[in-house]
Structure 1
């Protein structure tokens, strides 16, 4: 059992190779965490309800159970030296209950903040960082008052849950508000929500920061392009002014210090037309927009996460080459597989998911390049990503 630090909310002082890292969640992020853990000499266990999930395919053992099973989390704790998680929908109370027998370096404060959009916005604002204007919504009358204050258009999101556009709705005018009111009257219930004003941004971006509880390193700021609320492309690095780069790194450091971060934290950003940096969301883990780091950086986001939760020192990541990362969703699998032989420049990652589904993330492709714009044009010219739905 590793020793725990009193200063860093359960961070390990130094985890030795041969120790076991337990991962809650068995998707692609857990899979890539597990591969990194193996490279560092650690053993890996995973808790996931799907037998032979992507992470289990590269792990030492799987506990097949629901994520909120306290019995299963306790079993994972008993068989591990450290527990981490690959997504936010983890039972924080269940993790707290096993911290007497296993280290949880990320703690649960970060988890609780990012599980609740209102708490997340408060935390970000309290640490001197701008977000879109927002209001807490606990009923239709709150929504009406918030619209009067924020105006149209605005985005109504559930306080918890939701990803890739799920759990949110754009309100453009009074007709949309009337539909919400009618829906609530019919169902008799409105989930706790948050209303966010629109940001007139030039582009979306993100920055990753990793820590070991006391030291922190940042990755390059990247530009992100979405389709249907799902990340399509990441361009690394983003073209930014010195001031924007400075501000983004400073806010990342403030947030990491506020959490005494262990592991990797992703910060999604809006960059406005007048070079303001506004935080959209936080993800307390490696992130889709950081996959390019596997080929393009001196240390990738998963290695930084594993080193961070293991209490190892963190080198400052260096960008070795500009890169474009493109997601492979279910509808892109067959077209991209048909062209693999024609594109030796494609670094293809397949997540090992058993079932191909439309708009489901099945893998990604990274291309190292000296010309981002030309590479993006080449990717689109293949026709593999020409779906409009």
Structure 2
């Protein structure tokens, strides 16, 4: 193999449709038999010693994009398409993310901007059967990092959020914070294998760490969404199709166009905060007991946390109510409740639906008003 310190990589790959920067680096590293960190470093992304900056998923600075384009033999349009930049106009919550901040990952979660750990559809990851996808897998899609993407209408299923073998998210916080890829210095894994490290401790009274990657294939044994009936699944898939249409309606880089309704995504997110702070006052917003149980499961620890943190500041008391649920089913159910709360956004009927929840939330949490203050939700 040609030595990898040349100005450009000796071999590259054509990005797949909708492929994320994460997926491209994993596939390219596997092809070149190097670690993702090494490939990222050679492409101008390895500014950190132990991780790849998570903010690069949101956007690449111009100078970094030029180096990456040259090294990976991609056009500037192909490089842009690997990032979230294409959604910035239709999904304005992305604009709240500071890509140069050390706490990018945490702020992205709180603001519903993007998930550091991708959800995934096993059927999509299996690919289309072409030689390239048979060898390296299908695309890890950029949109799977958006909190509002929880289902795959193409395969009529909810996305997975954890490895089916070790039950851990695909990407988790490491010693250096949240990075773009879990254990990026670990080489030899297929792009579709789980990179979570399993640790064995305390053997024969000697404490040591024996580390090995989980390695389970994430494209196998697809879930059948058995927890939800067909009617509930259809409801969530219909919502996802509507959200997908709005996400791609202005599928252009920042500044090229503006969404028809810039409050469409921010308002449901604020509605989810109100629903969580007042739950179960909003249980009637959901059409089935199964969907209600999903939101109830997500809200239970939030209610308990609020009780134990009485007297704390507004920020510390309500920070845990703000991130999107990790679980796809819970996230879909919560967004469905939020969209039912907003309805057609007629202010008169919206006021009637919102006020009971607002009174309940403010009664329990007098300091929560800064988090629920958009005009559409104020009545």
Greater percentage in helix: 2
Which TM-score band applies after superposition, normalised by the shorter structure? under 0.3
TM score, norm. by length of structure 1: 0.24
Q: Which has the higher contact order (CA 8 A, sep 6+)?
A: 2
TM score, norm. by length of structure 2: 0.25
Greater percentage in strand: 1
